[in-house]
Chains A and B, each alone.
Chain A
Amino acid sequence: DSGVTQTPKHLITATGQRVTLRCSPRSGDLSVYWYQQSLDQGLQFLIHYYNGEERAKGNILERFSAQQFPDLHSELNLSSLELGDSALYFCASSVGSSGGGDTQYFGPGTRLTVL
């Protein structure tokens, strides 16, 4: 158990819908990262927040948005869902702000299926 929690574990929804994925980092970690893992693209970095502020943005679609709240939990919002958005979404956390320069602890993931 990494100490990072993600909810829900599974999510099945229809095209055009909007969903929110939630992540709580390990106690004491200030950074939260979001990743998408699809069968054809592998793992891809989406976005990094440190202590409430956006630090880096990857290949995140405009239909996707994220934020980190004062209690450090984070939410990833996916809207106007398409079939291709079906994937595993991982959240990770780390202590520092340097992004890939810290060891990251991964949550169990949310499996999103868009029908």
Chain B
Amino acid sequence: KNEVEQSPQNLTAQEGEFITINCSYSVGISALHWLQQHPGGGIVSLFMLSSGKKKHGRLIATINIQEKHSSLHITASHPRDSAVYICAVFPLAGGTSYGKLTFGQGTILTVHP
């Protein structure tokens, strides 16, 4: 079992829909990242969070440390949101994975006009 699991793997939506991508992890972490990878391959950091909720424009990220779960929400989705969304966790000190960002397999989002 991977340390970081994302769901769904693929997501298709119509423009304007509310979208949720989920990320579950199995290790204690000090931070969680949401990344966006464009069809051309470039990667952009969307959020880094260790508790609570962050908002940037139409994007909202939440994390529940106790439940080891994070969600990325996109409100009023648009075709330009089509991309791969990747969750990554930074494990707590003391474990074998400390110092190493560990990635989920990504969620492929396609938004149709």
Q: Mark B91-102, 1 if CB is under 8 A from A, else 0.
A: 100000011111
Check if B42 sits within 8 Å of A33, measured CB to CB.
no
A90 touching B43, Cβ below 8 Å:
yes
- Say which size band chain A's interface belongs to: 20 to 34
**A103 near B103: Cβ-Cβ < 8 Å:** no
Residues of A contacting B43 in the complex (Cβ-Cβ under 8 angstroms): 90, 92, 106, 109
Contact assessment for B41 and A55 in the assembled complex, using a CB-CB cutoff below 8 Å: no
Contacts of A43 in B (CB 8 A): 86, 88, 103, 106
Contact A33 B48 (CB under 8 A): no
* Min distance, Cβ A56 to any Cβ of chain B, angstroms: 3
Please state if A100 and B42 are interface contacts (CB–CB under 8 Å).
no
Contact residues in A for B44 (Cβ distance below 8 Å): 2, 106
Q: Which of A2, A88, A100, A108 has the most CB of B within 10 A?
A: A100
A105 touches B45 (CB 8 A): yes
Give the distance in Å from the alpha carbon of A101 to the alpha carbon of B99 in the complex: 9
Chain B nearest CB: distance from A103 CB in Å?
Answer: 5
Q: Using CB atoms, name the residue of chain A closest to B91.
A: A100
What chain A residues lie within 8 Å of B72 (beta carbons)?
none
- Distance A111 CA – B103 CA, assembled complex (angstroms): 19
In the complex, whether B63 has a CB less than 8 A from a CB of chain A is no
Inter-subunit contact A100/B103 (CB<8 Å) = no
B102 and A45: CB pair below 8 A?
Answer: yes
A55 cross-chain contacts in B, Cβ below 8 A: 99
Q: Closest Cβ of chain A: how far from B71's Cβ, in Å?
A: 19
Contact A45 B100 (CB under 8 A): yes
Considering the chains assembled together, what is the distance between the CA atoms of A4 and B12 in angstroms?
32
* B contact set with A: CB distance below 8 Å: 30-31, 33, 35, 41-45, 48, 86, 88-91, 98-106
